Amino acid sequence: MLQPPLLLAGFAELLTALRWPLTAAYLLLLTLIGAYGVHRYWLVYLFARHRREVPRPTHRFAELPRVTVQLPVYNEGRVVERIIDAACVIRYPADRLQIQVLDDSTDGSELIARRRVDHWRERGVNIALLHRTDRTGYKAGALAAGMDSATGELIAIFDADFVPPANFLKRTVHHFTDPRLGMVQTRWSHLNRTDSLLTRGQAIFLDGHFVVEHTARNRSGAWINFNGTAGLWRAAAIAEAGGWQHDTLTEDVDLSYRAQLAGWDFRFLPWVTCPAELPPEINAFKSQQHRWTKGSIQTARKLLPRLLTADVPMKIKVEAFFHLTSPMVYLYITLFALLFYPAVWVNLQPIEDGRRAGVFLGLSLFMVGTVSATTFYIASQRAQKRSVWMTLLQVPLLMSIGIGIALNNAIACIEALAGHDTPFIRTPKYGDAARGSDQSEIRNLKSKMAVIPIPSLKIWITFLEIGMGLLLIACAASSLRSRNTAVSLPFLVLFATGYLYVGFTSLWIHLIGWRTARAAASAVPATA
């Protein structure tokens, strides 16, 4: 056994004594990660099998139903005018359309929204601003409060960073001629997809979720979820499912499963797209991912026991399990990365021939992890007629980002499993600066002086990410000296790159945020 320079000799001997328990843990994590990798292959198969099945309305409404459009916003001064304007030009009979701006703002941006609401009301639009003085229930609370005065049979919901197309209702509303249809979800497209490597990676991640996952599940008879925005609900389905609840951070997923448990059907329309802004900087992305990850596990804790004992087909139960628990992979990946170091020094192996075991484990991880993810994302891009070769070139970026945020999301999983409550933190919106329509704002954004701070995002997580990256670099250097572990070198480099990219980029954004806050504070006396 090599003598590890970073470990005391006694600790190295302890690791050797723990060789078999560590091997068991290593193989268990590999199996768990592999199970979700195999499930990705299954989703790609279902997608290929059902993608040409196009659900159509059974017939068309002779008289269009009343629709309420809800726009939940919170301190969205950069984008609130844009979403209000987009909602007010949706083509639908004016006497059958109601628009609610559900504004919980505390920074004065409700005044911007109120002016825009007054502008459109003067032009005959049925629009109202409902401003709450507290954020009880956060977004779920705002949506529930809006239901008290909603007049629509159908409820359309758009987050502040979305720009619904004018024909959105015309392309979705007639599906509700099916009396058991509770919700229609449309596909997200991306206003700032090509702005940076980060936004390109996020776009492909989301394409995989919408294009492959939603299509595969919905067309094969499994359940899908409402994604919180760009969807249309039947008001009766919301009420029968128990309404909006705020005991999880993903109120959309929670309501979706409760509604389907109540017998309502859902429909995904991938050809109807609704453009939105992707988080243009890493800390906004991490904050969003933390909320989505934690909320999904919270929903799994809340509803999986009920769902697994419900009188529904087994395929629904299996897909729901994989769907709601899929964020646990981030925890497994983090633990797996932590085992790389002892793997190098104690030669973890289920059989005595270390080289053969190392090759077997390395190739297994490659096949069930990297190849399944590559297949998954290529399928989503081909379906949109995007270049397969360009997607392949971006696979290392996707893997690095996915691994780099694993620690952030693993902490979210642990918080959810431990029952640790945290507030709903909205993802910062950059508006036209993220879209690239205002070049002066884009230059300001690229100079990192327009960073929106996220106080809830703890910097200690950033230092842990950097630490993980440095640890894996040490593992990579050590693996080069061992013939039994050299096969793991590509994975070690990939993991180290991901953690260091996310960690150092996040640290840079933290530093710029502090600089911006300091500059703003010093400017106050000068303007007083």
The dihedral sign for the CA sequence 434, 215, 425, 499: negative
The distance from CA 350 to its chain's CA centroid, rounded to whole angstroms, is 36
3-state secondary structure of 87: helix
Alpha carbon of 374 to those of 133, 139, 199, 217: distances in Å?
47, 34, 18, 19
DSSP 8-state class, residue 359: H
How do the residues of the chain divide into helix, strand and coil, expressed in percent and rounded to 5?
A: 60, 10, 30
Tokens, residue 393: 């070139």
What is the pairing mode between strands 154-157 and 231-234?
Answer: antiparallel
Alpha carbon of 361 to those of 19, 112, 124, 369, 485: distances in Å?
16, 57, 66, 12, 10
Alpha carbon of 52 to those of 215, 271, 378: distances in Å?
10, 12, 17
The span from the CA of 305 to the CA of 98, in Å, is 38
Q: Any residues with CB less than 8 A from the CB of 125 and at least 6 apart, and which?
A: 88, 94, 99
Work out the burial of residue 312: count CB atoms within 10 Å of its CB; fewer than 13 is exposed, 13-18 middle, 19 or more buried. Answer: middle
Query: How many C-beta atoms lie closer than 10 Å to residue 123's C-beta?
Result: 9
- Among 361, 328, 367, smallest CA distance to 344 is for 361
Cα 103–Cα 412–Cα 251 angle in degrees, nearest 5? 35
Alpha carbon distance, N-terminus to C-terminus of the chain: 69
The span from the CA of 501 to the CA of 497, in Å, is 6
Catalytic residues: 104, 252
Helix boundaries (H) for 436-488: 439-446, 459-479
Cα 190–Cα 194–Cα 197 angle in degrees, nearest 5? 115
Tokens, residue 79: 């984008």
What is the length of the chain? Answer: 528
The span from the CA of 15 to the CA of 466, in Å, is 24
Alpha carbon of 236 to those of 186, 407, 507: distances in Å?
20, 40, 47
Q: Are 366 and 35 in contact (CB under 8 A)?
A: no
